[in-house]
Amino acid sequence: MSAPLTTQPGFTRALAAVRGGEIGLLRAVALDLVAVGGGDALQGLRIEAIGVLRAVTGPSSVELQAHSTSDGGATTFLGRAGHGVVVNAHVSVVAGERRECLRATIRLVGTHGSVLVDLLRPRLDVRTAAGMRHPSFGARRAEVSPGDAAEALTAIAASARSGQTISITW
Amino acid sequence: MTDHGMPLGIGIVGVGGIALSHMAALRTMTSAQLVAVCDVDASRAAEVAHAERCEGYGSVEALLADDAVEAVIVCTPNMTHEALGVQVLAAGKHLLMEKPLAMTPAGARAVANEAAERGLALAVGHSHRFSDQSVAIREVIDSGEIGTPRFVRVVMNGGWIWPGWQAWVLNPALSGGHSLHNGTHLIDLASWWIGEPATSVFSVGQHATSESLEIYDYLVMELGFANGASAVCEISRGERPRSASYLELTVVGTKGVVSREWDAEGVLAWTDTGLTAWAADGFAERVFVRELEAFVASSRSEAEVIPPVSAAIHAVDVAAASETSLREGRTIEIGASV
Ligand SMILES: NC(=O)c1ccc[n+]([C@@H]2O[C@H](COP(=O)([O-])OP(=O)(O)OC[C@H]3O[C@@H](n4cnc5c(N)ncnc54)[C@H](O)[C@@H]3O)[C@@H](O)[C@H]2O)c1
């Protein structure tokens, strides 16, 4: 079974903390997703990034500046959501045989505390003479679910090309 | 003339908060020795001089007239850096300037030119370059293991540090705003790891502790680089609880990722205050000793200054542009605005 990142248990616990006021009012969100795979992995990852951010901020307009490498393998953006929440994300793919993400973290910063979620946990730490591996357990990591982020992604790409801030809605 | 067999004679101008870290480092060093301090608060200078067994002066002029002072560390508020820097160098002393080098791009160049014309060492206190983890990350990048860096994330989020943040820090006219005051540290790390200067900056900020603050105590700067790489630099002095302290250093390359994990300190503690990660001892002390050892070596022409003066100027350029971005809400090209 695979599931979208928005159902990852650490993430849902963190969302509950925001909604329950455990960290006060949400002020900022930072997301990093770095996967291993081919070009198709990147598109899926970007869609997932938008889905995760939207789950945190709720539907919102966002004024942002994006950057992309010329090969399109890495995208970063920083912006301000309509209600003043600072949002930023980095999404990239390292070429290689598809396997678990190299990095997947989200940090939610509130007026009265913050939460950092390693989206790759829970996982085991297996060390042998051959080396180290970290098999995850529980809900299997995502095969990306198609989302409706196409417009936002097009606008993000346009900002990276022009070097100017743009306004999007997610 | 510097006698290489003797410790380098150091004078400190401004003996407030950060001077304590430099003095603690100097106590453990044999290559340099604190010989004099001065402060506009002459009684403070006398008190420190008594404790450190060195000369204490109530004016910079008096300190610079002391022949035992071969090199000077300027530890005064940011708005004094340009004038004091030029004055120290004009007196023929090597200079370690606390960051930022100056409050404006033109000011940074004025100090750098003075040093270059006189052939004196000019180092700027970008102390994070000397931390164990920063050096280790740079080594991983240099090894080629993660490929070409294309994203850097630096996060230094802490709670309110009153009374450490004195009134001058909170006044943008005196500190230059948060981009210059603390942001320069993060800008320096990001461009050092990416391996080239940034070409644009877009910043957003919040008055996290109080709406009446004039500086953005929570600041996020997004840097763009000519090679398509980017960096997100997040610095906060407005987190709650006040004891909050979160450091994250990540570099994503074309072949992999290096990151300082959240439990990098190696000690997780469950106490009545909840779960906390404890830092290993000695970390901060090593940073300042290394910074000063590097300064001594460059003063004696034994090594290049770290960071290069061009990097310290660049940090001021980006930080000044970041403050413009905060005011105008748009992306600023580096060089275009200054
Ligand atoms: N590298 C780091 O990590 C780091 C950390 C903190 C501060 N700093 C930098 O160090 C500098 C000092 O910061 P601080 O927190 O120690 O400030 P502080 O206010 O605690 O101390 C400044 C001292 O300088 C004295 N002073 C002011 N103007 C003077 C002048 N013209 N001549 C002589 N003395 C003068 C003051 O009386 C005071 O004792 C700043 O530039 C700051 O940005 C760097």
DSSP B248-284: EEEEEESS-EEEE-TTTTSEEEEETTEEEEEPPTTHH
CA distance A16 to chain B (A): 19
Q: Tell me the pLDDT tens digit for each residue of B114-135.
A: 999 999 999 999 999 999 889 9
Asked if B321 and B248 sit in the same domain, the reply is yes
Which residues form the domain of B56? 8-126+289-303
Say if residue B338's pLDDT is above 50.
Answer: no
User: Is B232 close to A78, i.e. CB distance below 8 A?
Assistant: yes
Q: Which residue of B has its CA nearest to A75?
A: B230
Asked if B328 and B294 sit in the same domain, the reply is no
Query: Is B20 among the domain residues?
Result: yes
Q: Tell me the pLDDT tens digit for each residue of B226-257.
A: 999 999 999 999 999 888 888 899 999 999 99
Query: Is B203 among the domain residues?
Result: yes
pLDDT of residue A140: 53
Nearest residue to B179 (alpha-carbon basis) of B147, B228, B217, B213:
B217
pLDDT of residue A75: 96
Query: Is B309 among the domain residues?
Result: no
Type of residue found at B86: V
pLDDT of residue B337: 39
- Ligand 1 neighbours, Cβ below 6 Å, are B 13-19, 38-41, 44, 60, 75-78, 80, 98-99, 125, 127, 166, 181
Query: Is B338 among the domain residues?
Result: no
More confident residue, B66 or B284: B66
- Gap from CA of B198 to ligand 1 centroid (Å): 28
Mean pLDDT throughout B83-102?
Answer: 98
Question: Which of B230, B233, B255 should one mutate to test binding to chain A, selecting the residue with the greatest count of A CBs within 10 A?
Answer: B230
User: What are B162-166's contacts with CB under 8 Å, separation 24+?
Assistant: B164/B17, B165/B237, B166/B16
- Gap from CA of B225 to ligand 1 centroid (Å): 32
Asked if B91 and B118 sit in the same domain, the reply is yes
Q: What is the DSSP letter of B181?
A: I
Q: Which ipTM score applies to this complex?
A: 0.87
Asked if B104 and B22 sit in the same domain, the reply is yes
Asked if B88 and B143 sit in the same domain, the reply is no
Per the structure, the count of domains in chain B is: 2
Residue B187 belongs to a domain with what CATH number? 3.30.360.10
Q: Are B127 and B25 in contact (CB under 8 A)?
A: no
pLDDT of residue A100: 81
Mean pLDDT throughout B60-84?
Answer: 98
Asked if B157 and B240 sit in the same domain, the reply is yes
Please state the atom number of ligand 1 nearest to the C-alpha of residue B19: 16
Residues 6+ apart with CB under 8 A from A118: A10, A104, A105, B262
List Cα–Cα distances, B191 to A51, B141, B147, B226, in angstroms.
31, 13, 16, 11
Asked if B115 and B222 sit in the same domain, the reply is no
B288 class by beta-carbon count within 10 Å (0-12 exposed, 13-18 middle, 19+ buried): buried
Say if residue B9's pLDDT is above 70.
Answer: yes
Query: Is B38 among the domain residues?
Result: yes
- Gap from CA of A7 to ligand 1 centroid (Å): 49
Asked if B253 and B155 sit in the same domain, the reply is yes
Q: Tell me the pLDDT tens digit for each residue of B145-161.
A: 999 999 999 999 999 87
Say if residue B327's pLDDT is above 60.
Answer: yes
pLDDT of residue B336: 54
Within an 8 Å CB–CB cutoff, is residue B150 touching chain A? Answer: yes
Would you identify the CATH topology of the domain A5-161? Answer: Dihydrodipicolinate Reductase; domain 2 (3.30.360)
Torsion sign over Cα B319, B323, B328, B330: positive
Helix, strand or coil, per DSSP, at residue A104: strand
Alpha helix (H) residue ranges in chain A: 9-19, 39-57, 150-162
Query: Is B308 among the domain residues?
Result: no
Query: Is B3 among the domain residues?
Result: no
Asked if B255 and B155 sit in the same domain, the reply is yes
Residue B149: is the preceding peptide bond cis (ω within 30°)? Answer: no
Facing A165 at nearest CB: one of B202, B208, B241: B202
Query: Is B310 among the domain residues?
Result: no
Say if residue B216's pLDDT is above 80.
Answer: yes
CA distance B255 to chain A (A): 5
Asked if B45 and B167 sit in the same domain, the reply is no
Kindly list the residues from chain A whose CB atom is less than 8 angstroms away from the CB atom of residue B222. Answer: 65, 67, 76-78, 88
Q: Are B221 and B212 in contact (CB under 8 A)?
A: no
Asked if B269 and B298 sit in the same domain, the reply is no
pLDDT of residue A164: 95
**Rounded-to-integer distance, Cα B70 and Cα B91, Å:** 10
For B293, the token pair is 């050892």
Residuewise pLDDT in 10s, chain A (170 residues):
357 888 888 999 999 999 999 999 999 999 999 999 987 888 889 999 999 999 999 999 999 999 999 998 999 999 999 889 999 999 999 999 888 889 999 999 999 999 999 999 888 888 888 888 888 777 655 444 555 688 899 999 999 999 999 999 99
Residue length, chain B? Answer: 338
Asked if B82 and B34 sit in the same domain, the reply is yes
Report the percent of chain B where pLDDT is more than 70. 94
For B27, the token pair is 């106590």
Residues 6+ apart with CB under 8 A from B300: B2, B4, B8
User: Is A78 close to B331, i.e. CB distance below 8 A?
Assistant: no
Helix (H) or strand (E) holding B334: none
List Cα–Cα distances, B290 to A101, B31, B110, B286, B316, in angstroms.
36, 12, 27, 6, 23
**Please, which pLDDT band fits residue B1 given cuts at 50, 70 and 90?**
very low
Residue length, chain A? Answer: 170
B187 class by beta-carbon count within 10 Å (0-12 exposed, 13-18 middle, 19+ buried): buried
Say if residue B335's pLDDT is above 50.
Answer: yes
